[in-house]
Structure 1
Amino acid sequence: MNVSNGIYTIADTKVFGWVTLPWTVKQVRLMALADKAFWNNDNFNSSFFIKAKQLCVKLAARKTQLNKKKITILNTEHGAMYGNEDGVLITPRLSFNSVLTHEMVHSFHIGHSYSDRKIAIFPFAHMGEYGDRYDLMSTSNAWMYKSQYGLSGPGLNGPHLDYLGWLPSNRILYFGSSIIRLSSLSISHAQSNDWLLVMLPFDKNDPANVFTLEFRTPINYDSGIKQEAVVIHKIDRKGTTYYSTIITHSKDYDEMMVGTEWVHFLEQDSPEVYPVIKVRVERIDKQRQVAVLQINSTFNPIKPNKISCRSTRKQRHLKDEMNSSHIQNEGETVRILPPEQNGFFKDLVTFGMNACNNGYVWRMIDPYDYACVTKNRQQEIRYQRKVGNPSGICRKPLMLRKAFPSDTACVTQTEFVIIQKENAEMHKNMKYHSFFNGEETVVP
C-alpha cells in the first residue's frame, strides 16, 4: 500500500549506476562560484549542489538516455534538494524514505506545507513553513517513524492528495452541515467506505478557498503519528498560488480528539449576522478507523441588501438547488449574488484543486480520473464498451486505452489517440493549474 493508492508507480525507473566526476569538490565549488546563473543565489552551498547535479546529469546523458525526471545521489557533502532542470539531488546521510519522497513530491509542483503558527521552524524557512507535522512536505519536522529504509512517513495531507488527484472524487464532500463519518486517510481506500475529505467553503468569491477535514491514524506510512486525530487545513489563494495551512489549536495542539470542538467566525454580512463554522469530534472508532463529526456551517453565498440586517438562511449541500433570485426572510429581502456567484453550489460540478474550467467536467473513467472534458465527451466514454481483461491483452485491431497505468480497457486506435491527447492537454482545461504551496523552482 502506498500514499497514492497505486496511482503513482516507479515501474519505469532505471538505475544508471555510479559516475565519477573528473573534478574535485573544490573545483566544482569554483565552477559554481564562476557561474553567473548563481550570482543571485544567497545560498552558496545550494549553488554547489546544483552545479554538481548538472555535471553528473550531463556526463550520464552522454552514455545513456535518461528519463525526464532524475534522481542524483552525490557521495559527498550533506544535503538534499529539487530543481526543475535536473531533478532531485540527495547525499548518503539523507538517503532515506522521508527525504527522498519529499524531494520527489516537489517534482509534482508542490511546495512545503505550512502551519498557522507565526514561528520559523528552521533558520532558512518562512514563518510557518515546515509546520504541518501530518504532512510529508514538512519532513524533518513531521511525524516520521523508523523503517528498514531509514526514517519514513508521514503521508501527504488531504489538500495535497486532492491536488494530485490521489483521492476518489466520489468520496470528497464539498460542504456538509450534519453528522458525517470520516474514514482514515492512513489506510487503503479499498478498506474503508466513508468520506475521505470534507471541504467547507468560507469565501463567497472563490469556491476553492475552503477548510478541509481529514482523519489520520497511526498505521502504515502514518505509523509515526502519536494518536488517532482529525486534522483541519485552510486552503486559500495568495497572489496567483493556493496555499494549504494546518489549523492549530490551544496548548499547541495540531489536531482534534474526541470531545473537542473548533469554531471559526466568518466575515460578517451585517452587524447582527455572525456566519460561523463549527466542527466537533463526537466519536472515534479505532477498530474501524472511522471518526464521527458534527459539522454546522452557516456560510451563505447570498449577500443581504443594504436595507437588510439579518439573514438566517443556511446553505445546503452541493446537490441542492438555489433557483430563486430573491428570498423573503422575516420581512426582509435577501439578494442572491450576480450570475457568476448565483449558482455557487448548484453549478459547482467540479471542485477542489482539480476543478475544471466552466463548460468542462471530469472524465471519470474511474473516480480517480480528473481529466477535464466536455459533457458530451464524458457521455461518450460512459457508453464505451469495455473489452479489457485482467491480463491486459487486447485482440487486434483493439489496443489498451492506457488512460492511467491500471486502465486495461480495450479501444480502437482512434480512441487511444484521443485519450492520450486529453491526458497530455488536461492542464489546459483545469481552473487552478499552478504550483501548490509556493512557486519555488529550487527547494530543499
Structure 2
Amino acid sequence: MKPSPLRRLAVVFCVLAAVGVTPTPATATPIRNATPWSVLLCRFSDRPATPQTTEFFANFLTDAGRGTGGVADYLADQSGGRISLAGSAVLGWYTMTWSRAQFDGIDRSVRIQRCVDTAAAAGYTVPSGHRVAVILNDAVDAGSAGGRVLLDPNTWNTRFAAHEMLHGYGLDHSWSDDTTYRNVSWAQPGEYDDMWDEMSAQHTYSVDTRYGAGAVGLNAYHLDELGWLPRNRVLTVGADGVGTRTVTMAPLEARGEAGLLLARIPFDANDTSRYYTVEYRRKTGWSAGIPGDTVLLHEIRNGTPYLLRTGPGGGPRQSLDANGVRVTVQGATVTITTAVVNRPVYGPNTCVNGYVWRDADQTDYVCVTPETRAEAAADNAAAPSRWVAGAYGPHTCVNGYVWREAFIGDDVCVVPDRRSRAAADNAAGPGRVLRPAG
C-alpha cells in the first residue's frame, strides 16, 4: 500500500517539543457517569472580537448539542452511553488584562490559567470535579496541559477538540511500529501514526461534520483503558489453558453485532503489560473516513498501543508470526495461537493486590475489596424484590432502599450506606489500578 498523504501531515499541536524520550505510560482509568467541563471563553485585551457565541460552544462541546455531531455525541457513542457531559458550563466571553502579544513565549499551562483566573475575578470559580477547556478568540496556541484543554480559532473542530478532551480523561497518544515515520521533527518515531485512532491527533482518517473535521473512533486498547468495552466481549487467548482459538470479531463501530470486540494475546509470561491485541473496524459512523473494513493488530508495550504495519509506509498487518504468537485473518474471522497459556491478562484496568473489579455490570471496572464485590452481586440478585411501581417508574425502591447509582442507569436498590460506598469507591478507584512500568 502506498503511504497515504495523511502520513506526511506535519501539523500537530497537542504536545510540547520533546526529543529522545519514550512514551509515558497512560494514566486513564475507567470513566463513567457525568463528566462535566467548565468551558471558559476568553478574549485578549486588544482583540475585542467574539468569533462565535456561547451557544456555539455549548452545542460543540457539551450535552446541549446532543444530536448535532459535536464532542458530546462522539463521547456518548464511543463510551456506549456510559458517560455524559451533563453539568457542563460555558461562560464568557471574559476580557483578560493581557494582550495577544503577551501570550507569546509563555507556557501553555500559564495561558490556560490566565483565563481561569480572569473568570474567577469575574465571579466564576471552576467547581470541584470539573475538567477545564479554555477558548481563546485569536490564534496563539492549542492543545492540552495537565489534563486541561486550550483551543484557539484554528482548532474549533471535533477531531481536534475530542483528541484534547480525551487527554483530559487520561489517554496518551497512539503509535505505530514504523520507526521511519516522524510526524514533525519533535515527535518520536511512530508517534501519531495510528490513523484509525483518535489519539493520533490530526493524523487520522476523518469526514467533515457541522463542526469541521470529525473525530475517528478509538482503537480497542483505548476503549478498554477507559472501561468502555463489556468484559464478556473481551477474550484473553490462552488464559483458560487453550492456546489456539478461531474467533469472530465484531466491529467497534457496531457493537450490537455478535462477536468479540477485543482479543488480547499474551506473549511474555513474565510481563502482563506486554501483549498483542486484535480488533475489527468498519467504515461507518465516526469511522466513515477509514479506507475500508479491516482487522487491526497492535502490540501493547507498557501501556502504549503500537499499530503493526507491514513495513515503512505500509498498511496495517493482516497476519503475525512473532514471539510465539501466530495470527491469521480471513475477513472478520481470526485464528490465534499463543505459546503463553494459563496466564490471565486483565488489561489496563488491572487492580492492585487486594482489590477486584466491582462487577456491578459488564463494564464496571472500579476496583473494590472482594467483600464489596460480593455485596454488589448480592444486591443485583435481590434487586427485583426491592422494586415497586411508583413515581420514579417501575424501579422505584421500597421503603428503606435507594438506587445504588454506581453508574448511569444503575437503579439497583440498596441500603443508603452502600450507595455512599459506591460513590466513595468510584472516587478512590483510580488509585487502585496497577500502572505499567515506565
Q: TM-score per shorter chain, which class?
A: 0.7 to 0.9
Q: Which runs of 5+ in 1 are unaligned?
A: 30-43, 267-275, 285-290, 301-314, 316-343, 439-444
Return the structure number with greater relative CO, CA threshold 8 A, min gap 6. 2
Answer yes or no: is the 8 Å Cα contact 2:160–2:215 preserved in 1: no
**Paired position in structure 1 for 2:299:** 234
Evaluate the alpha carbon distance shift between residue 390 and residue 77 of structure 1 in structure 2; reply closer, same or farther with a 3 A threshold: same
**Paired position in structure 2 for 1:185:** 252
Describe the superposition over 1:46-96 as per-residue Cα deviations: whole angstroms up to 9, x where unpaired: x354333211111112312324311111011143211127x1110122111
What TM-score results when the alignment is normalised by the length of structure 2?
0.74
**Paired position in structure 1 for 2:110:** 51
1:94 aligns with 2:167: no
**Paired position in structure 2 for 1:320:** none
Pairing 1:200-279 to 2, within 5 Å after superposition: 200-237=265-302, 242-250=303-311, 252-256=313-317, 260-264=318-322, 266=323, 276-279=324-327
Answer yes or no: is the 8 Å Cα contact 1:281–1:293 preserved in 2: yes
Looking at structure 2, the residues matched to 393 and 56 of structure 1 have their Cα atoms a distance apart, in angstroms, of: 44
Looking at structure 2, the residues matched to 433 and 398 of structure 1 have their Cα atoms a distance apart, in angstroms, of: 40
Aligned length in residues? 346
Looking at structure 2, the residues matched to 57 and 420 of structure 1 have their Cα atoms a distance apart, in angstroms, of: 28
Answer yes or no: is the 8 Å Cα contact 2:136–2:153 preserved in 1: yes
- Identity level (%): 29
**Paired position in structure 1 for 2:101:** 26
Higher CA-based Rg: 1
Looking at structure 1, the residues matched to 397 and 153 of structure 2 have their Cα atoms a distance apart, in angstroms, of: 44
Evaluate the alpha carbon distance shift between residue 125 and residue 392 of structure 1 in structure 2; reply closer, same or farther with a 3 A threshold: farther
Answer yes or no: is the 8 Å Cα contact 1:211–1:232 preserved in 2: yes
Pairing 1:283-302 to 2, within 5 Å after superposition: 284=331, 291-297=332-338, 299-300=339-340
Looking at structure 2, the residues matched to 27 and 392 of structure 1 have their Cα atoms a distance apart, in angstroms, of: 57
Looking at structure 2, the residues matched to 216 and 253 of structure 1 have their Cα atoms a distance apart, in angstroms, of: 18
What TM-score results when the alignment is normalised by the length of structure 1?
0.73
Cα displacement (A) at 1:403:
0.5
Looking at structure 1, the residues matched to 119 and 395 of structure 2 have their Cα atoms a distance apart, in angstroms, of: 34
Evaluate the alpha carbon distance shift between residue 226 and residue 24 of structure 1 in structure 2; reply closer, same or farther with a 3 A threshold: same
* Partner AA of 2:320 in structure 1: W
**Paired position in structure 1 for 2:351:** 356
**Paired position in structure 2 for 1:365:** 360
Greater mean alpha carbon deviation, residues 399-408 or residues 48-57: 48-57
Looking at structure 1, the residues matched to 93 and 377 of structure 2 have their Cα atoms a distance apart, in angstroms, of: 48
Match of 2:434 among 407, 431, 434: 431
Cα displacement (A) at 1:248:
0.7
Answer yes or no: is the 8 Å Cα contact 2:135–2:152 preserved in 1: yes
Cα displacement (A) at 1:110:
1.7
Answer yes or no: is the 8 Å Cα contact 2:142–2:151 preserved in 1: yes
**Paired position in structure 2 for 1:378:** 373
Looking at structure 1, the residues matched to 152 and 371 of structure 2 have their Cα atoms a distance apart, in angstroms, of: 50
* Partner AA of 1:376 in structure 2: E
Cα displacement (A) at 1:394:
4.3
Cα displacement (A) at 1:7:
1.1
Answer yes or no: is the 8 Å Cα contact 1:208–1:351 preserved in 2: no
Match of 1:195 among 260, 272, 276: 260
SS in 2 for 1:417: helix
Evaluate the alpha carbon distance shift between residue 78 and residue 393 of structure 1 in structure 2; reply closer, same or farther with a 3 A threshold: farther
Looking at structure 2, the residues matched to 393 and 92 of structure 1 have their Cα atoms a distance apart, in angstroms, of: 47
Q: Which runs of 5+ in 2 are unaligned?
A: 1-75, 239-243
* Partner AA of 2:214 in structure 1: S
SS in 1 for 2:143: strand
**Paired position in structure 2 for 1:307:** none
